Amino acid sequence: MAVVKALSKAPCDVTLVDRRNHHLFQPLLYEVATAALSPGQIAVALRHVFRDQENASIVLGEVTGVDLEQRRVLVGDENLPFDHLVLATGSTHHYFGNDGWEPHAPGLKSIEDALEIRSRFLVTFERADRTASAQERARLMTVVIVGGGPTGVELAGTMSEVARRVLQGEFRQLDTSSLRIVLVEGAQRLLPVLPPGLGSRTQRDLEELDVEVLLDTRVTDIDANGVGLDSGARIEAANVVWAAGVCGAPVEQGLTDFARKDRRLEVQPDLSLAGHPDVFAIGDLAHVESGGKQVPGLAPAALQMGRYVGRMLARELKGRPRADRSPFVYRDKGTLATIGRGRAVAHIGRAEFGGVVAWLLWAFVHIWFLVGFRSRIMVLLDWAFAYATFDRGARLITGDPFSGEVPGGRSDRA
């Protein structure tokens, strides 16, 4: 989207291809998964965004391949020719060779993922309220989150608050505050991308919210009823959420020569593919180094790459020589992670801080980056209401709660 906007006044026709008709603001997906926001508040139709950009066209379709020699993109049965191509397919869940875990431990990358996690989470309370087995209730009332990065931390803190504040008193036979949340992280501290002090503060905040934090611990098995750990221990759990890693989501056909082991595409300093100066990879799909360090897979980095490529192409289309390309330089504007109500950590420049100030800054930044005035107002009002009342209005269970598939593979159908 940043590329398309940067080309709004360039002498070219721009075609944006996506297999979904909407742009999704992924940093707030966990808010949908924990019943704080509805999908429409963090997603906007692509045709609506670009309705006034006359040189932009939208194609709803799935790209199945790229023919670099013939300069065309394969979209189903259709071939779209290109003069310049920008690949921004993002990332997907990475189970480190254990793809069989995915049905039991969904990740969080799409609206469908968020709704699945939300339904599994809410259904467990319904079932725990009705079961007569103490052992089964304990399993239903256990959540394991694998991965102590921003997504895992945000989910753990918010789920704890939902159980202890939002749902309290709504069930007649169940104390929702008895929910057990276990956060498993393979590294020796939480939020490894942040300074150690902020990781320690995050752990203290989570433990104050009754989240169990297991560091230097790896998951060795995940099935319908729980997880196994490298210590030999096992945690019986109805809900497991995967937040431990991502990998690139490239178009397989035609691009394998540029793919790394993590499925990201290797790019040149100007974000183009080697030998193909008019083909670019940006965002989470690209393995990019700037200033001797790998550029993190964060939304601000993706936006910077998109603006860089879009503006560079706009200049070249107006006659600037290709030889004048300067390398992409990532400007780290800081990292924020929220833990719960009034709790967050921030690393901006040399400053490290947390608490309410960090939380307010996190809220402001995320509202600012939302696409569309309507989305910003709706999210701001919902957050203000939730802060004042401890209520969450998106507690809908979607799908079939009696299918036996949500959660834990066990059916309670009479």
| 8 A C-beta contact, residue 303 and residue 2 | yes
154 given a catalytic annotation = yes
Name residue 117's beta-bridge partners. Answer: none
Q: What is the DSSP letter of 258?
A: G
| 8 A C-beta contact, residue 118 and residue 236 | no
H or E, element range at 139: helix 134-140
Name residue 80's beta-bridge partners. Answer: 73
CA distance 369 to 51: 20
Can you read off the two tokens belonging to residue 315? 């200049």
Residue of 102, 112, 116, 154 marked active site: 154
Task: Quickly count: other Cβ atoms within 10 Å of residue 276's Cβ.
Answer: 15
| 8 A C-beta contact, residue 260 and residue 287 | yes
3-class secondary-structure state, position 106:
coil
Q: How do beta strands 85-87 and 276-281 pair?
A: parallel
Nearest partner of 247 among 114, 378, 102, 387, judged by Cα: 102
Kindly list the catalytic residues: 154
